[in-house]
Structure 1
């Protein structure tokens, strides 16, 4: 731990010179260096409070993800000498806290919650708030408020937002994340291995055993390695290591355990909360430019991803997702795919051997210096031009492309990419190449190719595709290089 702290201290001392502290809009207070909040003491129904936050600052009613934030929120309210309970931006669909989702799309209350086990005596000025034995409780209502005074201060209670009017706190992101722009694509960073507790323990161990055999390639880029098991009834910490071999010990000690996981299919994955937790990790590890490999067995229940995408982009974090075709729960298979699409990452769907291959064959893990990224809308069959590609070096490069934006692989027929070097007199195979996808290589819904093109050439490319139906899809096309010396700027995002 001493070596980890010393290493990170040196890293952050070098990075902090370029960074400035986060700032808040006028009238807002910075809460634990993470977000900006403001108390509105005028009592409103839940819907009116939501409308107020979104109309004034395009924000949300406050979310709370750890005990220190819960206490900081109480301190803020007490500083205004307010005793009226406040709405939290939390909505529940069952009596299980895992079913309660934050309005700001920051995940579910499975990682942290402070629900009261019994209804405390409440002030008499609002008798419409019912008494009940436990929270959350749908018989009382799907919305949630927090007590700010009395013996149960800080506890969360269910209520009907249409019947009850309370004070509330609005939140909005701070205008700047410290040190965020101080890293380059070649800066030392963190590699996070995140895996669902719903997966087979053997599958998780086999995937990381593969990486353990390729530690040198991954260590060329990353100086801190992290692992976390998610989709648990009680969320766990993220474990950080400076010694690559320590990750194996940590993974073996935290393999999936069905006794610890969610028990119903309606509960969505808490992976978005885990990503938020990683980005809010303070100085435990360098965040900017980091890479995450996520093994997903349960799909999220969130659909609005604007906030998480904005934060990932701000930190230049790459998301590589392998999603199981037979989920154990959750609603939306597209959520993580869409996040990867908008952040220059990629997402594959697979099962069995295809799931393992997709997790271990991504060349980006070993040389994640991205030099080209585009997203391709397709439907039915056709041919479309792609943006020009400039090849920066002579080292081995990796082309990665998804061949469906969902699983299982049922609508794909074939596709191919033609390219030629611009402004050259090259002919034949040197000038024109066809990358043919008329077959599937066992990586689920993505394809990888290692190649050595001519350096410093600009390539025209066209993409021809055929699917069995005309449903709209967006495919991810990425190119990576092993040479960190030729990549000194971040690749733009393709919306």
Structure 2
């Protein structure tokens, strides 16, 4: 009984006279975690390898909270176990993981036979959580895929991903190799503070957070339609960062939507009183260097020193859609960001 009484202040909060449960987090954003590299058996593996090799030298010299790499192929007739690669350091584990991937690549004979068969990516994520391995909480999952789920209902897996604070970077190749609902992937990312981009093969992971910038410092979903302007929650960077942050913006839920027309974001630096402004029209977005069919990224405009940025957004849409804004850094945040059901 004494133990229960001692625990009550950490489990319950009183608000407006009501007793509310506050579940304790399983981990913090600075705790050691797993880096999961998952890819569909449908993808062109040569592009997975080349994009990874481009990042390898940088990843191996940067500070990181990751302690182990896990890998798995999914969308395959015979489900494969998630492999956790041992090593004395994260770099050792990361190197072993990529050797393993290069040995197995993809197996076309094991791909699903029908385009009507949906991706089993949601099942893969649940199996990853259910391994109950150390450091699952706070993990980062970079997922290359080409097949979309058939599911629309995702509340169960969203609840689990939130409970374990697993951040998703979904690099989805368009056109799809099967499945019915690409918007499910975008919604999954929106509800878990992840990010989802639809791109061609060679640019699949160019417009998603990855192991160099995995740590979330700002996350916002906005349901918009028509033309408007709004003041967004401010961005606070309380400490000096190792490298400038990057911003990723998803402007529509699928690769084929025609809703997005233009968007402009302004950042007012309260310390220097400088305003950083950039805009993107549908025409400019289509010829971006790192092309995505539904997203873009910006980098180099936020500084590494502590600051507070006031943010405003202007937008123009022909129909309702959802904007995802994510700002990530190499340095971990000191607290988890709240989730949204938008």
Q: What TM-score does the superposition give when structure 2 sets the normalisation length?
A: 0.82
1:392 corresponding residue in structure 2: 238
Confirm or deny: 8 A CA contact 1:201 1:257 kept in the other structure.
no
Tell me if the contact between 2:250 and 2:296 (Cα under 8 Å) persists in the aligned partners.
Answer: yes
SS in 2 for 1:213: helix
Paired position in structure 1 for 2:340: 494
Question: What's 1:199 paired with?
Answer: 43
314, 319, 322: which one pairs with 2:168?
A: 319
Which residue of the partner structure matches residue 224 of structure 1? 68
Secondary structure (helix, strand or coil) at the match of 2:156 reads helix
Instruction: Indicate the SS of the match to 2:25.
Output: helix
Alpha-carbon shift at residue 201 of structure 1 (Å):
2.3
* 1:277 maps to 2:127: yes
SS in 1 for 2:169: strand
Q: Retained in 2: the 8 A contact 1:393–1:483? A: no
Give the structure 2 partner of residue 433 of structure 1: 276
- Deviation of 1:200 after TM superposition, in Å, equals 1.4
Counterpart CA distance in 1 for 2:209 and 2:80 is 29
- Once the two structures are overlaid, the 10-residue window that deviates more, 372-381 or 265-274, is 372-381
Which of 40, 43, 52 aligns to 1:208? It is 52
Distance 1:239 1:186 in 2: 24
Report the 3-state secondary structure (helix = DSSP H, G, I; strand = E; otherwise coil) of the residue aligned with 2:206: helix
Equivalent position of 1:475 in the other structure: 323
Name the CA shift for 1:363/1:236 in 2 (closer, same or farther; >3 Å): closer
Structure 2 equivalent of residue 103 of structure 1: none
Counterpart pick for 1:349 among 198, 220, 223: 198
Q: Identify which of 303, 312, 315 aligns with 1:453.
A: 303
- How much has 1:454 moved relative to structure 2? 7.1
- 1:493 offset after TM fit, Å? 1.1
Moved more, 289-298 or 201-210: 201-210
1:15-414 matched pairs, under 5 angstroms:
181-216=25-60, 220-241=64-85, 242=87, 243-283=93-133, 285-358=134-207, 362-395=208-241, 396-408=244-256, 410-414=258-262
| Higher relative contact order (CA closer than 8 Å, sequence separation 6+) | 2
Using the alignment, how far apart are the partners of 2:74 and 2:22 within structure 1? 28
Contact 2:269/2:308 (<8 A) preserved = yes
Distance in structure 1 (CA, Å) of the matches to 2:189 and 2:251:
14
Shift of 1:455: 4.1
Instruction: Name the CA shift for 1:479/1:197 in 2 (closer, same or farther; >3 Å).
Output: same
Cα distance in 2 between the residues matched to 1:313 and 1:490: 10
Structure 2 unaligned blocks of 5 or more: 1-20, 88-92
1:161 counterpart residue number? none
Residues 116-164 of structure 1: per-residue CA shift (max 9 Å, x gap): xxxxxxxxxxxxxxxxxxxxxxxxxxxxxxxxxxxxxxxxxxxxxxxxx
Correspondence for 2:268 among 420, 423, 445: 420
Task: Say if 2:142 and 2:170, in contact at 8 Å, map to a contact too.
Answer: yes
Distance 1:476 1:364 in 2: 16
* Counterpart-to-counterpart distance in 2, 1:220 and 1:316: 17
Q: Give the superposed CA RMSD.
A: 2.4
- Contact 1:232–1:261 (Cα < 8 Å) also in 2: yes
Superposition deviation, residue 312 in structure 1: 0.4
- For residue 70 of structure 1, what is the aligned residue in structure 2? none
Aligned pair in 2 of structure 1 residues 269, 219: CA closer, same or farther (>3 Å)?
farther
Equivalent pair of 2:116/2:178 in contact (CA under 8 Å): yes
1:412-436 CA-partner distances (Å, limit 9, x unpaired)? 33211023245x6x55xx2x22122
Q: Give, in whole Å, the separation in 2 of the partners of 1:280 and 1:299.
A: 22
Q: Tell me, which stretches of 5 or more residues in structure 1 are unaligned?
A: 1-174
Closer, same or farther: CA 371–216 of 1 in aligned 2, 3 Å: same
Alpha-carbon distance between aligned partners in 2 of 1:204 and 1:306, rounded to the nearest angstrom: 30
